[in-house]
Amino acid sequence: MRVRVGFLILALGLAVAVTACGTPPAADIDAAKAAVTAAGTAGASEYAAPSLTAAQDAQAALDAELKAQEGNWVKSFDKAKQLAAAAKAAGEKAAADAAAGKAKAKEDATKAIADTKTMLADTEALLAKAPKGKGSAADIAAMKTDLTTAGTTLTEAETALASEKFLDAKTKADSAMNAVMTVKTAVETAKAAMMKK
């Protein structure tokens, strides 16, 4: 009887010890998840996609380790703790990269809009002085329409910039710039042709 009681006490002590060392690092896990979530909220999917993917991969590795420990009789969360630290660091890096990427995108969009505005004004002035020869009225009217469309696209770019949709703003500004450059090239080509005559 004494032997059975001894085994029972030993088994209970072992169970308590196993439970004590097998507790998931909840605070570390929560911190890792919060960091990855914060990166997403900071716009990492738009401005730092590779960093966000790395953070999500680190989170997935942590989740896989936690799942693997669920099936173990003797649990050890040392690796999970390391993976949680790695996921937290990756999430924080993704958030920092997103902030930097967003600032750069804003700068790029702002410059693209300013450059396009200047080019649009210059090209409108150039078109106003374009040589008008026989049969060129239709071409000039078409180019004016193209410049008006470019101006509308530029306005859309400014709206996107004001809404902090910086990538969209840059894309629209670039599109407007391409249209303006096409008209400018056509006017300069016509002007050069007239000079040769």
Residue 191: pLDDT band by 50, 70, 90 thresholds?
Answer: confident
Task: Over range 113-130, report the average pLDDT.
Answer: 95
Q: How far apart are CA 131 and CA 133, in angstroms?
A: 6
Residue 147: pLDDT band by 50, 70, 90 thresholds?
Answer: very high
Q: How far apart are CA 42 and CA 52, in angstroms?
A: 10
pLDDT of residue 105: 97
Place of tokens 């967003």: 102
Q: How far apart are CA 191 and CA 183, in angstroms?
A: 12
Residue 4 has pLDDT above 90, yes or no: no
Residue 8 has pLDDT above 90, yes or no: no
pLDDT of residue 197: 66
Residue 1: pLDDT band by 50, 70, 90 thresholds?
Answer: low
Choice between 137 and 18, residue whose per-residue pLDDT is larger: 137
Mean pLDDT, the chain, whole residue set:
89
Distance of CA 160 to the CA centre of its chain: 15
Residue 184 has pLDDT above 90, yes or no: yes
Taking only the tens place, the pLDDT of each residue in 156-183 is 999 999 999 999 999 999 999 999 999 9
DSSP state of 157: H
Taking only the tens place, the pLDDT of each residue in 46-88 is 999 999 999 999 999 999 999 999 888 888 999 999 999 999 9
pLDDT of residue 40: 95
**For the purposes of burial, counting CB atoms within 10 Å of the CB of 180, is it exposed (0-12), middle (13-18) or buried (19 or more)?**
buried
CB of 38 within 8 A of CB of 95?
A: yes
